[in-house]
Chains A and B, each alone.
Chain A
Amino acid sequence: MDFLRPATWAEALAAKADRPEVVPIQGGTDMMVELNFDVRRPAGLLDLNRVAELSEWSSEPDGRLRVGAGVSYARLISELGDRLPGLAQASRTVGSPQIRNRGTVGGNLGAASPAGDSHPPLLATGAVVEVESAGGGVRMIPAAEFYLGVKRSALEPDELIRAFWMSPASGPQYFSKVGTRNAMVIAVCSFAIALHPGERRVGTGIGSAAPTPRRAVAAEEFLAAELDWEARLDPAVLGRFGELASEAASPIDDVRGTAEYRRHAIAVMARRTLTWAWNEFRSGHFERRAG
């Protein structure tokens, strides 16, 4: 096995172009488990820790945040939790403090596990993944087009994940996750919601209930058509939203839960997160906090 230690982004891209079979690692919290248990023996590891710009984030001229692939969950929570509340909520459910000190959204995207906690909020908020290769330059891939299959993404073998782009929240955002305890839990299933009051639109993301993380598109379209933004939440609308979210899932039976349970839980979490978000929106709390 080789251990490659590029010091700059250009070096990292050159290394990945030259040796597309090496596996990039950031915090290592996922890859090291596979190495420790000898379930995977890659040709080499490409350590991205020394590429300083990956651990930086910035506010871009178009108003969006560009967050480097190496920013840890702990820093996302403490430095960006006010602007990215849905992603911060999801980040708080990742592993333990020690894992959140090392783990990154970049690593979550690279692994592309359907159970990754950051995926549902990335989908609900319409985040975009910035990837790059030495030969092909930069590609901007919407989160909804990034996940292709179980642990498969749109990333080409010579590409690395540079950052993700996300707009600061324009409305309430929530994340919910089912597991056996509050800490150290891989999701049985999860759900994220993002209200976009300016556009009268609601974004969704489903985790761990399909081969890939995915949006509940029909549920989003239903709310765009039926949600009365000036009124209290209609229980019939809420119920139908839960049904449509559940129908968007295509879960399997596995060691963590049955498909039937996951379908049920997605409907519950969809109703619950929309209620939380709606209550916050109607209370005017979000505007006060943002203002």
Chain B
Amino acid sequence: MRLTFTVNGRQETADDVWEGESLLYVLRERVGLPGSKNACEQGECGSCTVYLDGITVCACLVAAGQAEGREIRTVEGLADGDRLDAVQEAFVECGAVQCGFCTPGLVVQAHDLIERIPRPSDAEIREALAGNLCRCTGYEKILDAVRLAATRKAGIR
């Protein structure tokens, strides 16, 4: 089937999409956006987190056809041209990235948290990121990065 949807502000059309395919597969293999990672394929790890009409979801658990006509925002759509989003910048500065596989999902989920709750408590950060697994960092530097990004974004506002 043909799929037409908006990704990071651009209209995209994908052809020959299999009806049982996931949105994640379409993004990575048909639209050329490999930022969202394919890890568990069962919603356990959060590495494929994207915005679907403004709400964060696991792209591996959205059927491709469900994205028809809808707006997707992936990790590739967070930066403003060459300028990284404050969450991305904070991840780099805090050393919240090791192998990097979980990073795109964590960045999108943290971005959403700070949009909804500009100054989240530690408990709120942990709850928001409970569905994003990282096997390298031990999470402490990720928490540092989210706190730093929230502080900076609050300053900008």
Contacts and interface: CB of A to CB of B under 8 A. Distances in A.
Interface of A: 1-3, 5, 25, 27-29, 31-33, 35-37, 41, 44-45, 47, 49, 74, 95-99, 101-102, 182-184
B66 A28 contact: yes
B63 A47 contact: yes
Given A25-B63, A29-B58, 13 more contacts: A1-B18, A2-B19, A5-B65, A29-B61, A33-B42, A33-B61, A35-B20, A36-B42, A47-B66, A99-B131, A101-B55, A102-B57, A184-B44
Interface string B129-149: 011100000000000000000
B43 A98 contact: yes
Interface of A is mostly: mixed
Contact of A3 (B55, B57, B61, B65): B65
A99 B58 contact: yes
Nearest to A99: B43
Given A1-B20, A96-B130, A97-B56, A33 B43 contact: yes
Contacts, number: 90
Residue among B43, B55, B68 facing the most chain A CB atoms (10 A cut-off): B43
Contacts of B68: 5
Given A47-B66, A183-B130, A28 B61 contact: yes
Contact of B1 (A3, A49, A98): A3
B49 interface: yes
B20 A41 contact: yes
Given A45-B65, A47-B65, A102-B61, A97 B131 contact: yes
A2 B19 CA distance: 6
B88 interface: no
Interface string B37-57: 000011110100100000111
Nearest to A182: B130
Contacts of B46: 96, 98
Contacts of A5: 65, 68
B94 interface: no
B62 interface: yes
Residue among B19, B22, B109 facing the most chain A CB atoms (10 A cut-off): B19
